[in-house]
A = this chain, B = another copy of it.
C-alpha cells in the first residue's frame, strides 16, 4: 500500500505537506497541491482508515444492532427494508455500516458498548434487539451517539413509525367500508403492540363500535400457526366478525389459510387486514389490505438524524421523529356498506348443493 511517505519522497516534500495538500488545507500553495494530488492519483494512493481513525477518533463507520430472535433482522421484511434505506442514506455521506457483533455474550467477553467503543463506531443505530436487556441499557447510557427505531429511551433520539395513527387510519378505513364487527388479533406484548392496541380501542370507541372481548386476542408476530388457530376460533363464534385484523402481514397469511380451508372467500365472505405492507403481500391475490409502514422514510430518518447527532452534537435536538404510514388498499377488505342498510334477512340463504 502506498502511503503519504511514498508520495512525499516522490514530490520532495514532507509528509505533513502531503497530508495538508490532500486535506485541502489553506497553508499549501496551489502549485504544490496540484502536484501532490496528481502524484497521489498516479501512485494509486488511498488513505489508511486505521491510521486516520487512530489519530482523529472518527471512523466514518456506523454500527447497527440488528438481531431478532434467533436470526438477525435480516430475515424480517420490515427491518430489512429499513436497514436498506438506512444503508443507502449513510453511504451517500461516506459512512459504512457494520453489524454490532452479537455472538459472544459470555461473561468476560466484550459487552455491546465495549465492542462499539473498541471498533470506534461514530454512532449506533439500534434497529431491532431486545430493548430490555441490561446490555442495551449500558449501551444507550454510554456516550456514543445513539438512535433507536420503534422504541423510546429517556434522553435518546428515536424514530417511530406512527402506530397510533396507523391503527386509527386502518380501522377507520375498515369502518368506512361498512364493517361493524371487527376483530383484532394483536401481537405479543411490546410498546408497539401497546400503541396499536390502545389506538384500536380508542378509535373503535370514537367510531361507536362495540368490540366484544372475544374479538380481541393475541398471537405472536409472524406466527402463522397462531393466527390460524385464532382465526378458526373467531370464525366459529356465534356471531363471527366481518373483518379480522392481524398483528402483521405474515400472520395474515395464517388467517388466509384458515379461511380458504373452510371454503370461504376473501373478501366476499370475510375481510382481513394486515400490518406492515411487506412486499409479497402485494403480489398475491387477493392482495392484502394493510397499513404500509414507510420503511424508506424510516431508514432515511434514522440515518439522517444519527449523522446529525454525530456531526453536530451540540445543536442536534434529542427528539423523537414520527413517520407516518398509509393504508394500502388491497382486495382483502370488502365494501359492505350497502349491506348495513338492507333489511336483516331471516334464516339462511338458500344454497343449492350439487350432488354428483
Taking Cβ atoms with an 8 Å cutoff, the residues of A that contact B are 1, 44, 46-51, 53-54, 59, 61, 71-72, 74-75, 77, 80-81, 83-84, 87-88, 91-92, 94-99, 101-104, 110, 114-115, 117-120, 224, 250, 253-254, 256-257, 260-261, 279-280, 283-285, 352-355
Please report the C-alpha to C-alpha distance between residue A114 and residue B96 in the assembled complex, in whole angstroms. 14
Smallest beta-carbon distance A177→chain B, Å: 23
Copies assembled: 2
Residues of B with C-beta under 8 A to A88: 103
Smallest beta-carbon distance A97→chain B, Å: 5
Residues of B with C-beta under 8 A to A110: 46
Which residue on chain B has the smallest CB distance to residue A102?
A: B91
Known: A54-B48, A117-B1. A98 touches B96 (CB 8 A): yes
Q: B283 contacts A254, CB within 8 Å?
A: yes
Please report the C-alpha to C-alpha distance between residue A346 and residue B80 in the assembled complex, in whole angstroms. 54
Residues of B with C-beta under 8 A to A54: 48, 50-51, 54
Known: A75-B84, A84-B75, A99-B97. A49 touches B104 (CB 8 A): no
Residues of B with C-beta under 8 A to A61: 98
Known: A261-B285, A354-B352. A75 touches B81 (CB 8 A): yes
Which residue on chain B has the smallest CB distance to residue A80?
A: B74
Q: A250 contacts B97, CB within 8 Å?
A: no
Q: A84 contacts B98, CB within 8 Å?
A: no
Which residue on chain B has the smallest CB distance to residue A53?
A: B50
Please report the C-alpha to C-alpha distance between residue A99 and residue B87 in the assembled complex, in whole angstroms. 9
Q: Could you list 24 A-B pairs, sorted by A, with CB under 8 Å?
A: A1-B117, A46-B115, A46-B117, A46-B118, A47-B118, A48-B120, A49-B119, A50-B51, A50-B53, A54-B54, A72-B84, A74-B74, A74-B83, A74-B87, A80-B80, A87-B99, A88-B103, A91-B101, A91-B103, A91-B104, A92-B103, A97-B99, A257-B283, A352-B355
Please report the C-alpha to C-alpha distance between residue A83 and residue B73 in the assembled complex, in whole angstroms. 11
Which residue on chain B has the smallest CB distance to residue A260?
A: B285
Residues of B with C-beta under 8 A to A1: 117
Which residue on chain B has the smallest CB distance to residue A92?
A: B103
Please report the C-alpha to C-alpha distance between residue A96 and residue B48 in the assembled complex, in whole angstroms. 19
